Amino acid sequence: MLLGPAVDGLDVHTEGVYVDVTFGGGGHSTEILNRLGNGKLFAFDQDKDALANVGADTRIVLIPHNFKYLADKLAELHVVEVDGLLADLGVSSHQFDVAERGFSIRFNADLDMRMDQSQLLTARDILNYYPEQELMRVFREYGELNSARKMATEIVRVRGEKFIETSDELKSVVSRFAPRAKENTFYAQLFQALRIEVNDELAALKTLLEQAVQVLKKGGRLVVISYHSLEDRLVKNFINSGNFEGEIQKDFFGKPIGLVFKSITRKPIVPDEKEVEVNPRSRSAKMRIAEKL
């Protein structure tokens, strides 16, 4: 998503050191490499399927771990500072398009939704074992669904008779709560909520942003593309205030303290009409760019 603008935002120097913490299909990494001379690129991806997208370029090192381990994994490679960091959050097109991964509402598949296939927790586990109050929390906080309480109650009732195993079974259980003519949006929010819980995405994002402050050199660029308001709010608040609550702290004289970034984008950058037409999934993308102080 936002391929050109995202890499432009990194302000790539030919001898620089950069990190793409969401390698995925390798699109952003390839564009970064196109602009590098003898620089270095470190790419993170916890999905083993991403390994197939790595070419033979010696300037790139793929680190097969979640980006929440950013600082430790770079330290193991004796990388102290980097010139830029890019994060394209959310689910990759490959993950959406492989039915058995369970991310997409388009397919009837097992309720998996793990980005890291080695972890144990799946969406199926959440639906069949979480207490009712915890299900309600997931649906309300991560899906922002008004019917969270009623859905949680219905799921607990149904699973008492038969486990909920597949996407279609889940949609059948909650279909009566879907607003008319907005069914796809409703199911997308529901699947988003489960995916965030399965992969602990918001906690990982917070850890990433805090560690970005550690690894970026002064003047280094941070580029983050988010796909829903929960992610974008965390990114915006951290860039603008240095904390996730968005509360700017001030000293005795009223001068802001605790700021770690200068925002380069007053408003988030969004895809143009041409990109949305080619890739409808990009419609919800918002990109923010910041420079370390």
Domain residue limits, the chain: 3-93+201-292, 98-199
The rounded average pLDDT for each run of 10 residues, N- to C-terminus, in the chain (293 residues) is 93 97 92 96 85 81 94 97 94 53 71 89 97 98 96 98 95 95 93 94 96 98 96 97 93 88 95 88 92 97
Determine the pLDDT at residue 136: 98
Please tell me the predicted confidence (pLDDT) of residue 125: 97
Q: Per CATH, is 98-199 categorized as 1.10.287.70?
A: no
* pLDDT at site 237: 97
Tokens of 134: 């915890």
Model pLDDT, residue 242: 96
Residues 6+ apart with CB under 8 A from 161: none
Cα–Cα nearest to 47, from 71, 69, 22, 27: 22
Number of other residues whose CB lies within 10 A of the CB of residue 185: 12
The predicted structure's pLDDT at residue 267: 94
pLDDT at 34: 95
Four-CA torsion 26, 28, 34, 39, nearest 10 degrees: -90
Q: What is the gyration radius of the CA atoms in the chain, in angstroms?
A: 20
Query: Architecture of domain 3-93+201-292 in CATH?
Result: 3-Layer(aba) Sandwich (3.40)
| Residue whose structure tokens are 């490959």 | 94
The amino acid sitting at 225 is I
Phi/psi-derived region of residue 242, left when phi > 0, alpha when psi is between -120 and 50, beta in every other case: left
CB 244 within 8 A of CB 238: yes
Determine the 3-state secondary structure of 222 from DSSP: strand
pLDDT computed for residue 62 by the predictor: 93
Closest CA to 247 of 237, 260, 255: 237
The tokens for 217 are 């050199």
pLDDT at 280: 81
d(CA 38, CA 64): 23
Task: Supply the pLDDT for residue 20.
Answer: 97
pLDDT the model gives residue 182: 93
Single-letter amino acid, residue 72: D
